[in-house]
Amino acid sequence: MKQKILILPTYFPTKGAEIVGSMVKEQSELMQEYYDIRIVYCLPGMGLKRFIINLLIGFVYPLYKTCDDKIVSGTLCANGVYYYQSKLFSKQLNNTLKNLAYKHVVKELIKQEWAPKLIHSRTAEHTGLQALYLSRALGIPNLLTENCIFIQDENITKKKMHEYRASIEGATKVAVVSHYLKAFLLSHKFRCDPFIIGNMVNDDIFKIMIKKSNKKNINILTAAHTGYTKDWETFFKTIQYLSLNIKTDDLKVIVAVTQIYGDDSIKHLTKIAEEYNVLNYCTFKIQVPRDEMVILMQESDIFLATSINETFGIATLEAMFCGVPVVSTRNGGIEDFSTHENSILCNIGDYEALANAIIEIYEKKKTFTPETIRNSVIHKYGKEAFKMRLKKLYDETIETSNV
């Protein structure tokens, strides 16, 4: 009989937002070969008015509302749950309501004879405290995978930092996606021994296009959220430098926005592009579906990343799986898989160096072979390699746990 593993994702695909959390979904589906996997995804969906009504009638109605039909679960078993949450509630009350929603769902699963042997939390920020609460309340070991540098948030408070620390240090075992993130945690004196799990690219989907059309133009792609850590100023300055120095009028730039932070963030990006007189070269694509992202990568000549920091850099790795060379800043996570066979790295903010690296590739002074690029990463980050790393981690956490 397969061991039962409960996964608490940070994000998970829902109707209308199928791309958000798709990586967690893919990884979870992959592990079904060895384990009985179930997803519990709790969302804030009930507010103050409903809470007050329930309070006045003595909490006749439960503290949660199922929304299984909203979850895009694929081949996975998944429970979607709305819980009470309000800006007018204290932080402690919001956390308590969230904890109770998770606990209630898991207890219901146990009543149905589905008792997990392991809880896998997918970051401290969103589900770390809940996983820790369940772990202690139900006596279940807790694996926490961290892929974020949370201290960069300008709104972070001492209390929030305490919660992060409690989530990470209280986990049975901690995994991180890169050496960069491991160094970050240890340099901030987190008491843990992080296992570097890396990340996974679906090599059945992200692959080299059989034949590219003969063309003189150069197609540059980036895929990123709209946050400031992506350093959009440097990105568009790089494009401007290219437009002034490259030997073609056929410069084409695709900006694939994966996640929007702020209502005016797209306008902000187009404004920067206008300021540097490169908007006419750029096509903006918003929240691109996964199948379209694969095509964009396969059709691009170069993937450009100008981030200030990346805990991993999954989009750059996906481009490499498609045989596309990467020009990137030395942003941290990418240095785990960047080699002379697949990329050129430049200093953060150095738009001239980034542009000149692209020109070198365009003028064939620096050449890359698609098959060599792909082979440089697939044996470590393809599905099979990742699956065996995660299986080892699951088994060790279950076997050595002393919760």
Write down the pLDDT at residue 149. 77
Please count the other Cβ atoms lying within 10 Å of the Cβ belonging to residue 272: 16
DSSP-derived letter for residue 214 is: P
CA nearest to 268, candidates 253, 251, 250, 255: 255
Q: Please check whether residue 207 lies inside any domain of the structure.
A: no
Q: What is the pLDDT of residue 152?
A: 55
Cα–Cα distance measured from residue 96 to residue 89, given in angstroms and rounded to the nearest whole number: 11
Q: How is the beta sheet containing 118-121 ordered, strand by strand? A: 64-66, 77-84, 35-46, 3-8, 118-121, 142-146, 173-176, 195-196
pLDDT of 257 above 50: yes
Residue 216: which residues within 8 A CB-CB, separation 6 or more?
Answer: 248, 250
Residue 181 lies in a domain: yes
Residue with tokens 């081949």: 75
- Can you give the CATH number for the domain in which 8 is found? 3.40.50.2000
Per-residue pLDDT averaged across 175-194, rounded?
A: 95
pLDDT band at 371; cut points 50, 70, 90: very high
Q: Answer whether residue 361 is part of any domain.
A: yes
Span 71-92, pLDDT tens digits: 988 899 999 988 888 888 888 8
Same domain for 28 and 172? Answer: yes
pLDDT at residue number 45? 80
Same domain, 151 and 225: no
pLDDT in tens, 310-367: 999 999 999 999 999 999 999 999 999 999 999 999 999 999 999 999 999 999 999 9
Is 208 a domain residue?
A: no
The predicted structure's pLDDT at residue 403: 47
Q: Are 76 and 31 in contact (CB under 8 A)?
A: no
Whether pLDDT at 394 is above 50: yes
Q: Residue 271: its pLDDT value, please?
A: 95
Same structural domain, 64 and 189: yes
Condensed to tens digits (0 to 9), the pLDDT of residues 272-306 reads: 999 999 999 999 999 888 889 999 999 999 999 99
Q: Are 275 and 315 in contact (CB under 8 A)?
A: no
Q: What's the pLDDT tens digit per position in 214-228?
A: 567 899 999 999 988
Residues 289 and 147 in one domain: no
The reply to whether 165 falls in a domain is: yes
Mean pLDDT over the full length of the chain: 90
Domain match, 259 and 190 both: no
- pLDDT tops 80 at residue 402: no
Are the C-beta atoms of 187 and 13 separated by less than 8 Å?
no
Q: Does residue 104 sit in the same domain as residue 191?
A: yes
pLDDT in tens, 110-150: 999 999 999 999 988 889 999 999 999 889 999 999 988 76
Domain count, the chain: 2
Longest distance between any two alpha carbons in the chain, whole Å = 75
pLDDT at 158: 76
Same-domain check for residues 228 and 352: yes
Cβ(344)–Cβ(334) below 8 Å? no
Sheet with 218-224, side-by-side order of all strands: 282-286, 251-257, 218-224, 302-305, 326-329, 343-346
For the cut 90, the answer to whether the pLDDT of residue 373 exceeds it is yes
Of residues 100 and 400, the one with the higher pLDDT is: 100
In angstroms, what CA-CA distances link 122 with 45, 165, 235? 21, 15, 30
Q: State the DSSP H helix or E strand holding residue 358, giving kind and residue range, or none if neither.
A: helix 351-362
- Distances from the Cα of 218 to the Cα of 97, 212, 238, 247, 250, angstroms: 52, 12, 14, 10, 7
pLDDT of residue 48: 78
Same domain, 107 and 239: no
**190 and 243 share a domain?**
no
The two tokens of residue 320 are: 């490499």
| The pLDDT of residue 211 | 59
Buried b (16+ CB within 10 A) or exposed e, 29-66: ebbeebbbbbbbbbbebbeeeebeebeeeeeeeebbbe
Pair type for strands 77-84 and 64-66: antiparallel
Q: Is the domain of 274 the same as that of 304?
A: yes
Residue 151's pLDDT is: 59
Residue 122 lies in a domain: yes
* Residue 206, in any domain of the structure: no
**pLDDT tens track for 6-59:** 999 988 888 877 778 888 999 999 999 999 999 999 888 887 787 888 777 877
d(CA 346, CA 221): 17
Task: Give domain status of residue 205, yes or no.
Answer: no
Residue 99: pLDDT band by 50, 70, 90 thresholds?
Answer: confident
Q: Residue 394 and residue 400: Cα distance in Å, rounded?
A: 10
Is the same domain home to 191 and 334? no
d(CA 69, CA 372): 43
User: What pTM value is reported for the model?
Assistant: 0.90
Judge if 159 and 222 occupy the same domain: no
Q: Which residues span the domain enclosing 319?
A: 218-379
> What is the phi-psi region of residue 139: left when phi exceeds 0, alpha when psi lies from -120 to 50, beta otherwise?
left
Q: DSSP label at 335? A: G
